[in-house]
Amino acid sequence: MGKTPATRGLPDAASGRPAGRLALRLRLKAFWAHESGATAIEYGLIASLIFLVIVTSVTAFGNKTTGIMDAVSAAIDAAI
């Protein structure tokens, strides 16, 4: 007659999906193999780190600039 083709699991008659624990196992394998979510998280972490560096540098620069402007303002007031 011929060979019977191998199947992944016993299909459910209504949907053709494997039944019970096998279906859960196949879904978990597919979930762990899918990497686009991990890539999105990595890009999010990189963007947040860049944002923190920018905020920190702007804050530090702003504090130094404020000190310099106060000194210049005091010198101008003293000269007038």
String of DSSP letters for the chain: --PPPP-SSPBPTTT-PBPTHHHHHHHHHHHHH--HHHHHHHHHHHHHHHHHHHHHHHHHHHHHHHHHHHHHHHHHHHH-
Over residues 53-57, mean pLDDT: 95
Judged against a pLDDT cut of 60, whether residue 15 lies above it is answered with no
pLDDT for 4 equals: 63
pTM beyond 0.75, yes or no: no
